Structure 1
Amino acid sequence: MDRITYIIGAGFSAPAGLPVMSNFLAKSKDLYYSDIDLYRDFGRVFEQIRSLSYAKNYYSTDLMNIEEILSIQEMSEFLDGRKLSSDFSDFIIKTIEAYTPKLKIESRAANWYDHIFRGGRNIEALGIFVTSLLGVRFDDYRNSSPRGPVLLKDEHKDYAYSVISLNYDMLLENYADYLGRSFTTSGIESLGFKTEGYDPEWSVPHLAKLHGSVHTNEIVPPTWAKGTHPSIVTTWKTAYQILKDSNHIRFVGYSLPVADSYLKYLLKSAVIESHHLKSLDVICMDWNGDVRTRYEDFFALSNFRFKNSSVVDLAREIAAATVSGGGIGTEVRTFRAAETAYETFMSK
């Protein structure tokens, strides 16, 4: 069985409408001015950001990028012996929650396989991709009551998946929850991601969120000071176990920022203990070639594969290969079909 780990960045969630570092501030201001009473606490954050503009008198500073803002803010608070202020944490959480798509349960039409996830083509494609990660498939059972799609555990064990996320959002968890609430299940004891501890058998896909999550209100800014947050040490240890046991590592929607040295050292330390790492792949939008250059500088493996593309393009390839319509007997296959589609996508 091959163990495949996806390392996902902001580019994974952005097609679903979530903000990225470069547009986070603009999107939060859209929220604020759409309902000043509801988001009145944002005003204090914007005022703090304005106060940082003094630094621009002396240094080149991009105060439209939330990562730059958080780095300066966290340095000040760290030197005062404090964590990131609750105003900034709430600001991040509320902005992400506002832009996270709501997956609504609706009645199933006869052509349900064309509308498994409502919300547009991106939401649909990403949902099918997450379904494949969870190792489940649909079957339009003739004997089901009421007749319609039934969610089954995939019987093939050629591949197992885990995810290491650099995002705060609940997109993956929401998809898993939606599947469990929307469809009849058969033979599935637990549907979702394992978010605590490490399972050496990979019987359930892991999800290690290195920067915390809006669900737990634990926000660890993507800055230099990750080491000052002991609450996430367990998660990083889990990520280390995942990486050292992985046969394939795939970076999706992650541009490998120069400043993000912590992840680089995590990868380097894990590979020392890795017994059978076969491949490294990157799927990320690269407008001017900088992203590929950073990966080339980081990887010693000369034959790693780089795909200048979006996760949605990959997800649509997998959806096209795994979803088949046609009435009774319709099924959404995973594992083998998804992996075949992945290889086809990378070879284009």
Structure 2
Amino acid sequence: MTENVIILGAGFSYDAGIPLLGGFIERMWECATRKTIEGKPIRPEILKTLNEALEIRRELDNYHGRVVFDDRNIEDILSMLAFNILGGGKADSNKFKIFTKAISETIELACNVKHTGYRSDGRYTAIKEGDKVYREFWQGIFKWYKKTGSIPTIISFNYDLVLERSLMQILISDENFNPYENPLPFNGVTLDYCYKHFPSKSYLVEYANYNSPRQSQSTGTIISQPAGLDIEKFCKINILKLHGSLNFPTDSKKTASLVTPIDQPYILPPVSNKHSNGAGSQSWKSALNCLREAKNVTFVGYSLPKTDMYMQFFLKAALGPNQDLNKINIFDPVLSKDNQVSLDMKNRFQSCFSEQIRPRLNFNPGQSEYGSKNEQGTTKKFVDILNHTPELILF
């Protein structure tokens, strides 16, 4: 039974350098125009993809004479391109593929959380690139597992690989866990996307000695995938990426990696997609069932935009039958402001639920001694609470 569900929106990945939906096209344009990122030149083939995507976006600008849509929001553009496929042909399908590839390239250029995965030769390197808040997220998750024996189900609307890479950073390291002062509460992990073309992956987590500049030798953790793993006793992590992921293949013929994007990833527009091959239906079904069982649901960095009607009805269908629903926490910096934007967001969430449920909506879930008031609603505030006072948000 799933007692806790954490739902991650674009705001969760903001500290990883990934732009929010409204600023994504600007970042794509900036990369294509400057031809560099952090002083490093962008490869010609990537620039070609970015410029082709921007040209497709300019073509859609002609629609403004007759209809209203946000051509600076990637989800609006993806949705428009997806429906064009229904009435078009190969050219429209190619435009959709170009744009999804450009999204993948832009995310990778912007993302500061890096990891190469583990090496088959048995040599491991501790990697700590990117904001530490994501490693601290997993530390908080593992603390909760040690206390309760359960892991919250994670539902993500993001395409990026921030969760996967920070998980590898935490498990392949010389400083997070050791068998003496801070042992892990498990001897292995299994990560399951519930996605048709990406089988679950299991890793044995072991302690090993590292050479460290701080001392001649230090103890840390490494991972491996030996044959005959008894995964029944492993810590199971479900990450349900409902809109697809940069590492999701579109069929089972392609080899998939946790931390490496593929050439043409499975990315699903945020509409009722009729040209989908149905590969993501298992993820949606699993998310629906988890939400119907959850006692506490926590949103991080998701504003429930009024244009995302599909998700509003999904939440209603998922939480409507849930008679055990206890609390809904919403983390977003906007909610700490005293303005119309904050009020509108609160109204959107409240409009999804009946009057007897609305008092259980917690728009200010940061009442703890950790973090500053300026961090109210941020990913950092959420992670601070997760590590120090998780009872405020988890059941």
The answer to whether 1:237 aligns with 2:285 is yes
Q: Separation in 2 of the partners of 1:190 and 1:71? A: 39
Aligned to 2:159: 168
TM-aligned CA deviation for residue 316 of structure 1: 3.4
Alignment partner of 1:231: what SS?
A: coil
TM-aligned CA deviation for residue 130 of structure 1: 2.6
Q: Which amino acid aligns with 2:390?
A: A
TM-aligned CA deviation for residue 291 of structure 1: 1.0
Contact 2:4–2:297 (CA under 8 A) maintained in structure 1: yes
Give unpaired runs (5+ residues) of structure 2. Answer: 36-41, 117-125, 179-183, 201-232, 249-264, 365-375
Contact 1:2–1:158 (CA under 8 A) maintained in structure 2: no
1:124 alignment partner, one of 132, 138, 141: 132
Aligned to 2:314: 266
1:215 alignment partner, one of 247, 254, 278: 247
Distance 1:193 1:275, change over 3 A: farther
Give unpaired runs (5+ residues) of structure 1. Answer: 106-115, 138-153, 322-336, 344-348
1:195 alignment partner, one of 193, 196, 200: 193
Distance 1:282 1:61, change over 3 A: same
Which whole-Å deviations, capped at 9, do the CAs of 1:123-168 have from their partners, x for residues lacking one?
Answer: 22232123222x259xxxxxxxxxxxxxxxx532165311111111
Contact 1:161–1:202 (CA under 8 A) maintained in structure 2: no
Alignment partner of 1:206: what SS?
A: strand
Aligned to 1:93: 104
- How many residues end up aligned between the 2 structures? 295
Aligned to 1:21: 21
Contact 2:294–2:325 (CA under 8 A) maintained in structure 1: yes
1:302 alignment partner, one of 348, 352, 358: 358
Which whole-Å deviations, capped at 9, do the CAs of 1:288-343 have from their partners, x for residues lacking one?
Answer: 22211111212221211113622222223445x3xxxxxxxxxxxxxxx5335x58
Contact 1:23–1:65 (CA under 8 A) maintained in structure 2: yes
1:315 alignment partner, one of 355, 359, 383: 383
Contact 1:173–1:192 (CA under 8 A) maintained in structure 2: no
Alignment partner of 2:305: what SS?
A: coil
TM-aligned CA deviation for residue 280 of structure 1: 1.4
Contact 2:82–2:275 (CA under 8 A) maintained in structure 1: no
Q: Separation in 1 of the partners of 2:237 and 2:84? A: 38
Q: Separation in 1 of the partners of 2:86 and 2:139? A: 40
Contact 1:195–1:206 (CA under 8 A) maintained in structure 2: yes
Q: Which amino acid aligns with 1:338?
A: P
Q: Which amino acid aligns with 1:306?
A: F
Q: Which amino acid aligns with 1:190?
A: G
Q: Separation in 2 of the partners of 1:218 and 1:60? A: 27
TM-aligned CA deviation for residue 101 of structure 1: 1.9
Aligned to 2:81: 73
Shifted more, 211-220 versus 79-88: the winner is: 79-88
TM-aligned CA deviation for residue 265 of structure 1: 2.7
Alignment partner of 1:208: what SS?
A: strand
Contact 1:177–1:192 (CA under 8 A) maintained in structure 2: no
- In the superposition, the TM-score normalised over structure 1's length comes to 0.74
Aligned to 1:257: 305
Percentage of pairs with the same residue? 23
Aligned to 2:120: none
The answer to whether 1:339 aligns with 2:391 is yes
TM-aligned CA deviation for residue 202 of structure 1: 11
- In the superposition, the TM-score normalised over structure 2's length comes to 0.66
The within-5 A match list for 1:46-85 is: 46-80=54-88, 83=93, 85=96
Q: Separation in 2 of the partners of 1:259 and 1:202? A: 40
TM-aligned CA deviation for residue 268 of structure 1: 2.5
Q: Which amino acid aligns with 1:39?
A: L
Q: Separation in 2 of the partners of 1:9 and 1:270? A: 17
Alignment partner of 1:160: what SS?
A: coil
Contact 1:7–1:163 (CA under 8 A) maintained in structure 2: yes
Q: Separation in 2 of the partners of 1:187 and 1:280? A: 28
Q: Separation in 1 of the partners of 2:115 and 2:168? A: 11
Q: Of the two structures, which has the highest relative contact order with CA contacts closer than 8 Å and spacing of 6 or more?
A: 1
Q: Separation in 2 of the partners of 1:63 and 1:263? A: 20
Distance 1:257 1:227, change over 3 A: farther
Contact 1:193–1:205 (CA under 8 A) maintained in structure 2: yes
Contact 2:82–2:273 (CA under 8 A) maintained in structure 1: no
